[in-house]
Structure 1
Amino acid sequence: MAHEQRRYRVDVIWTGNRGEGTRDYQGYGREHEIRIVGKPALAGSSDAAFRGDAGRHNPEDLLLAALSACHMLWYLHLAAAAGVVVTAYLDCAEGSMVADASGGRFTAAVLRPEVVITADSDPGAAEAIHEAAHK
């Protein structure tokens, strides 16, 4: 299969200027909008632990959601190609991040997909497809 180059564009607009910009660490909001042409805007902020708004999407949640969704979509593709009929899929993913003076970094992302397949689908093949989807 030939490689295809795909490009994506996301506009992130900071909306947390409370009149003084970033003059003081505690004086500005972490609110922002994530905009992608043709799609609904996402209300973003930092995690509440970093002075963010807990009612908005934070980058850590979005990173974990992207990992989980990518795995799910590739799994569904591989299942369809293998003749495994999936009727439901749920992933309760969890991630861990370490924050210190130099910033933060993810140290783990654990996906826990639960899949329902039809009675005539092969459970062993369904399980093996998860391993293939990790690659």
Structure 2
Amino acid sequence: MNRTHRYEVEVTWTGNTGTGTSGYRDYARDHDVTGIEAGKPTILGSADPAFRGDPRRWNPEELLVVSLSQCHLLWYLALCAKAGIVVTAYTDRPEGTMSESAEGSGVFTDVTLRPQVTITDPTRIGDATDLHHEAHRMCFIANSVNFPVTATPTVTAPNGG
């Protein structure tokens, strides 16, 4: 049975410096992302600094890369739990590449996930590494983008990896 899920957020531009968008350089790119449901913290957003954004705020390109990493992480942890592999630590430093065209539009060309995982049983390192492929196959976000997403995981275990 197929199920449909809906996700609703609110994005509010907060960058009106007094004259609105009277000129390209006359407004800030700042905005707030809030959840419709109470209790979620606000994400402070802006444009990439290359596009006059505030480097102290998250930009949409970073958030896309984060979404891919989070989706992979959550699938991976679930798959490990089901397989009886105990994960005790997981860190990822993903990187995305966007290519900008002469006209100013752009497209992501790739994202690489670099999960570093620690498990308890050194005899399961191979199984734990293989589950990254399944996590990638199952990831909702990776299945929704039109550019390659690759994972180059490292799995270790105390006294064995």
TM range, smaller chain: over 0.9
1:1-135 mapped onto 2 (5 Å cutoff): 2-36=1-35, 37-38=37-38, 39-100=40-101, 101-119=103-121, 122-135=124-137
Counterparts of 1:93 and 1:34, CA distance in 2? 22
Contact 1:46–1:59 under 8 Å retained in 2: yes
Q: CA deviation at 1:91?
A: 0.6
3-state DSSP of counterpart to 2:98: strand
4+ long deviations beyond 2 Å: none
RMSD: 1.2
Q: CA deviation at 1:121?
A: 5.5
- Report the TM-score, using the length of structure 1 for normalisation: 0.95
Contact 2:85–2:121 under 8 Å retained in 1: no
For structure 1, which runs of at least 5 residues remain unmatched after alignment? none
3-state DSSP of counterpart to 1:122: helix
Counterparts of 1:75 and 1:58, CA distance in 2? 26
Q: Which amino acid aligns with 2:51?
A: F
How many residue pairs match? The answer is 134
For structure 2, which runs of at least 5 residues remain unmatched after alignment? 138-161
Q: CA deviation at 1:83?
A: 0.8
- Report the TM-score, using the length of structure 2 for normalisation: 0.80
Counterparts of 1:119 and 1:82, CA distance in 2? 12
The one-character-per-residue Cα deviations of 1:24-59 (angstroms, maximum 9, x if unpaired) are 001111000001022011111001110000000110
Q: Give me the identity figure in percent.
A: 49
Q: Which amino acid aligns with 2:85?
A: V
